[in-house]
Amino acid sequence: MHIPFCEEVCPYCDFAVVAGRDQLASRYGQALVAEIRSAEEWGPLEAVNFGGGTPSRMPAGLLERILGELSSRFGLREGAEVSLEANPEDWTLQKAESLAAAGFNRVSLGAQSFDAEVLSYLGRRHTPTQIVGAVAAARQAGFASVNLDLIMGSPSESAASWTETLRMALEANPDHLSTYSLTVEPGTILWRTVRAGASPPDPDRQAECWDEADRECARSGLVRYEVSNAARPGHPCRYNLSVWGQGEYLGFGNGAHSFRDGRRWENLRGLERYLDTVEAGRSPNRRFELIEGWAAETERVLLGIRRRAGVRAGRAGEALWESPRGRELHRAGVIGLHGDRLVVDRPLLTDEVSRAILAIPPPESAGLGNIPVPGG
Amino acid sequence: MASRSLIRNFCIIAHIDHGKSTLADRLLESAGAVSQRDMRDQVLDTMDLERERGITIKAQAVRLDYEASDGRLYVLNLIDTPGHVDFSYEVSRSLAACEGAVLLVDANQGVQAQTVANAYLAVEAGLEIIPVVNKIDLPSAEPERAAEELARVVGGDAADTIFISAKTGEGVDELTERIVEVIPPPAGDEDLPLSALIFDSYYDLYRGVVCYVRVMEGSIAAGERVMFMATGEKRDAAEIGVLTPGSVPMETLAAGEVGYLITGAKEIDRVRVGDTVTSAYRPAAVPLRGYTDPRPMVFAGIFPTDGDEYPRLREALEKLQLNDASLQIAPEFSQALGFGFRCGFLGLLHMEIVRERLEREYDLDLVTTSPSVAYRVTLPGDEPVEVRSPADFPAAGREMVVEEPWIKALVLVPPEHLGAVMEILTSRRGELGPLNYLGTERVELTCRLPLAEVVFDFYDQLKSKTRGFASLDYEADGYQPSDLVKVDLLLNGSAVDAFSAVIHRPRAYAYGREMVTRLKDLIPRQLFDVPIQAAIGSRVISRETIRAKRKDVLAKCYGGDVTRKKKLLARQKEGKRRMKMVGSVEVPSQAFVAALRVRD
């Protein structure tokens, strides 16, 4: 469930977000409801994720109503993960309590850093203290799972600062910790600054941050289960795991993606166009793609290798293993074959592996691969 | 057939951009050879590339009918000459077809080295020289100074100079009258056996090889059986004619006349510039003097960036060869670059033109290795062997004698830049000769130096150190022994043949150091540490290490953008396709280009 509204657009963000358009929130809520009602039969749902944007900016009543609509349209499985993203500065005890009452059981807090200077560089408006308060509020409201998102290796961050951020984050005792390297995405404010001569993030420095996070999380009982994610046993994010396991999902809202029955599509990205289209009773779904045959097989491996447990090698994994590039990757200690599972032993080099998989020529009998489907 | 006394055969000698082609246009106009409507600027330059670069690659000939002030109708044959140092042989053949030369100099730029060199050639060939200063309409023009320099070069009187503006037409009539007046009509005897000089040729897709000829003795008739004396090839003269500038077939061409000859020959190397055409039944006793085989002086490997393009590269080179007998090609295999060709060129400009045509007209993406020269290597007890590629150069430590080609260079430079030029020349092993002042503004400097020192970025350095004021011409000047070594570049322990170079021993360390540093910046980090070494034989003279890559992963991958990330990865994978595998090291094709690029 995509919620595009933000107070301000962060300099590194390239999601489908808007700032200063909160007055559209209730129209947007209506549109989401309409989109949910016109979706095909499906369910019951195992995980629900409200992402953004900043879902926590929406009135609790609106989020509750949308969740209610999802639940009545598709049904929620017993014990389903119902998660939302929140900014620490929005996350009051009152909001936490009403959302817990509405059925949310997991919150992902955009902490990013515990260093005021780094937060300011990242364009965030909260203080380190507010993060600690937000975690406490979530606990008090009864959230079963609390995640902190951290961004590492920004040019404004020293090694000592990252060490301190990690320490404070782990001290807040979250059930889940995401540690993302700052990336410069085309078109963002950060991208323009870097293009104008500001220093970009240093990948070697980020590798050091990653090593440190991996070590410190393990010491605190958080097990890294994906390149950028660690969790206490029982707390890995089910929604994300489903994506990496080539599971199916439906996305609602502007710019949201869906994957079902081997088809992937995305919604109109512009907020206004999305609203106008849905309000006119038309489908906002666009850019259908059929993922089948060899394309589906390589995608299975591409997604799966992000997990620490790796992926069943299958045809694509075996083809990689036997290719010259695969042998080099193995020799360099990047990949390993453990039983029938292909595992990336140097997760920071996962994209080397991904490119090698994409470079494997499709076998003759593998079907036609990726075909755009006109109109769905 | 024109009466021989009314024929004037002449050429225009000029530096690049001094206005030769514009003057030719004006002469054509004044003779009414080309109507204003059909007039494209610079009629004589037929190739797009020539038009763009403002230089003339292949000589051509145009016949103009001109009614002089004495009331008689003259036939003026304007023979165009190539305007660059690489084509001095072709220039000499064009000169041999003329009795006079218009020596054209830009009023602003004055005399350039290549004008001097070609003027000397013309004087040696016994041509009547008409000094002309062009572009007098330019506000910055210094016609008197240019005239003074011209007079010093050809040894005449500055008062004889004609001042013109080819652009506006001013002075062109005076020049035409002077051509008629002072250039002697051709000699020759129509009753002798045929001997005609081929001074240029080109390949026409439909008609085969078209050659331009100047009949020296005898005459040639359409349909006659002719023989090319150097190759012994016999063919029928399927068509003969003149160019006005469109082709006009003729029944005969007699001694003194200039025209074209088509025999249907398809291979341009059977019909060589400088060769003599004679009658197959009544051949001349001896060929005309001055013929030599085209002899490449500069060699470089040309490889397709994408190995799959090799057949297209071969086809393109073969097509270029149809029109260019001086371009030599031989298949070559490089471990680093795959299949390609070692090509021989007349000089650097020739190489540049070939490369540009391959890329532009045939849309090929190429890697060109450093240009090198042909070394003469003698191992004990063996005959000397010509080595055209550093890859074939014997390893260091073997007892051998290496000789390299030297050149005699002529540089013209304003006195304030003389110091810079001398510095460049001495740093490149130049042996300076005497200075000769052409007026107060320009010094003529002669120098002997190894050709290898010139093929590597020499022009660029000369230009930048003299703010573009120096000009250069050179000619081959034999071989002499030299202390040369092969420097290899090793990536991860294995030598990359494309980077090997033959270097004068005292410079080997500096060269090795520079290449190692460059490669370190050009080669992306790999999965493992990659040592880069420069070595002479087994002795490492310089070393750097590219540290292993530590991080290459997208931070986030969630449902929202699987497609986008996949596309991004696929694009990066495409980038990888443009990598060359050297052993286990991925080297971007661009790195080859950049590493081999000339330095400042």
Helix, strand, coil shares, percent, chain B, to 5: 30, 35, 35
Q: How far is C-alpha A215 from the chain's CA centre?
A: 22
Q: Answer whether residue B373 shows pLDDT above 80.
A: yes
A220 and A340 inside one domain: no
Q: How far is C-alpha A58 from the chain's CA centre?
A: 20
Please name the member of B550, B554, B556 whose beta carbon is closest to the beta carbon of A351: B554
Nearest CA in chain A to B573: A355
A359 Cβ under 8 Å from any chain B Cβ = yes
Q: Which of A204, A285, A358 to mutate to test the interface with B (most CBs of B within 10 A)?
A: A358
Q: Which of B526, B552, B564 to mutate to test the interface with A (most CBs of A within 10 A)?
A: B552
DSSP B75: E
A163 and A224 inside one domain: yes
| A269, A16 Cβ separation under 8 angstroms | yes
Q: How far apart are CA B78 and CA B98, in angstroms?
A: 9
> Confidence band (pLDDT; 50, 70, 90) for B50?
very low
Q: How far apart are CA A314 and CA B461, in angstroms?
A: 59
pLDDT of residue B578: 65
Q: How far apart are CA B275 and CA B263, in angstroms?
A: 15
* Structural domain count of chain A: 2
Chain A 256-275, residues with CB within 8 Å of chain B CB atoms: 256-257, 259, 264, 266
The CATH code for residues B4-182 is 3.40.50.300
B308 Cβ under 8 Å from any chain A Cβ = no
- CATH number of the domain at A79, please: 3.20.20.70
Contact yes or no for A358 and B550 at CB 8 A = no
Amino acid, res. A77: R
Nearest CA in chain B to A266: B560
B549: closest CA of chain A, how far (Å): 8
pLDDT digits (tens, 9 = 90+) for A156-199: 999 999 999 999 999 999 999 999 999 999 899 999 999 999 99
Residues in chain B with CB shorter than 8 Å from the CB of A306 are 557
A128 and A239 inside one domain: yes
Looking only at the bridges linking them, the beta strands covering A145-152 and A176-181 are parallel
User: Which sign does the torsion angle of CA B523, B525, B526, B529 carry?
Assistant: positive
Q: How many CB atoms lie within 10 A of CB B577?
A: 10
Tell me, yes or no, whether A74 lies in a domain: yes
Q: Do B485-596 and B298-369 fall under one CATH topology?
A: yes
Residues in chain B with CB shorter than 8 Å from the CB of A332 are 527-528
Q: Which of B59, B29, B42, B41 is nearest to B258 (CA)?
A: B59
Tell me, yes or no, whether A225 lies in a domain: yes
A301 membership: H or E segment, kind and range: helix A293-304
B573 Cβ under 8 Å from any chain A Cβ = yes
Q: How far apart are CA B36 and CA B465, in angstroms?
A: 43
B530: closest CA of chain A, how far (Å): 12
DSSP, residue by residue, B321-349: HHT-TT-EEEEEEETTTEEEEEEEESSHH
B159 Cβ under 8 Å from any chain A Cβ = no
Please, which contacts does A266-275 make with residues 24 or more away whose CB atoms are closer than 8 Å? A266/B563, A267/A2, A269/A16, A270/A16, A271/A4, A271/A16, A271/A18, A271/A21, A271/A24, A271/A28, A274/A31, A275/A24, A275/A27, A275/A28, A275/A31
Q: What is the fold, at CATH topology level, of the domain defined by B195-279? A: Elongation Factor Tu (Ef-tu); domain 3 (2.40.30)
A91 and A182 inside one domain: yes
Under 8 Å CB pairs connecting chains A and B tally to: 97
Structure-block tokens of residue A50 = 């409200």
pLDDT of residue B589: 73
Structure-block tokens of residue A319 = 């083809």
Q: How far apart are CA B273 and CA B60, in angstroms?
A: 12
A40 and A156 inside one domain: yes
Please tell me the least confidently modeled range out of A265-274, B290-299, B313-322: B290-299
Query: What CATH superfamily classification does B298-369 receive?
Result: Elongation Factor G (Translational Gtpase), domain 3 (3.30.70.870)
pLDDT of residue B153: 81
Contact yes or no for A351 and B572 at CB 8 A = yes
Domain range for A219: 2-244
Q: Which of A4, A61, A69, A64 is nearest to A43 (CA)?
A: A69
Q: How far, CA to CA in Å, does B595 sit from each of B511, B523, B585?
A: 12, 10, 16
Average pLDDT, chain A: 93
pLDDT digits (tens, 9 = 90+) for A340-359: 999 999 999 999 999 999 98
Domain ranges in chain B are 4-182, 195-279, 298-369, 376-482, 485-596
Please state the rounded mean pLDDT for residues B494-503.
88
Tell me, yes or no, whether A46 lies in a domain: yes
Selected residue with higher pLDDT from A13 and B272 = A13
A370 Cβ under 8 Å from any chain B Cβ = no
DSSP B372: B
Q: How far apart are CA A63 and CA A366, in angstroms?
A: 44
A243 Cβ under 8 Å from any chain B Cβ = yes
DSSP, residue by residue, B481-492: E--EEEEEEEET
A181 Cβ under 8 Å from any chain B Cβ = yes
B552 Cβ under 8 Å from any chain A Cβ = yes
- CATH classification (class only), B376-482: alpha beta
Selected residue with higher pLDDT from B317 and B40 = B317
pLDDT digits (tens, 9 = 90+) for B162-215: 999 988 989 999 999 999 999 999 999 999 999 999 988 887 778 888 889 999
Amino acid, res. B208: G
Q: CB within 8 A of A71, min separation 6: which ones?
A: A103
CATH architecture for the domain at B485-596: 2-Layer Sandwich (3.30)
pLDDT digits (tens, 9 = 90+) for A102-155: 999 999 999 999 999 999 999 999 999 999 999 999 999 999 999 999 999 999
pLDDT digits (tens, 9 = 90+) for B560-573: 678 778 888 888 77
Q: How far apart are CA B119 and CA B136, in angstroms?
A: 21
A175 Cβ under 8 Å from any chain B Cβ = no
A164 and A222 inside one domain: yes
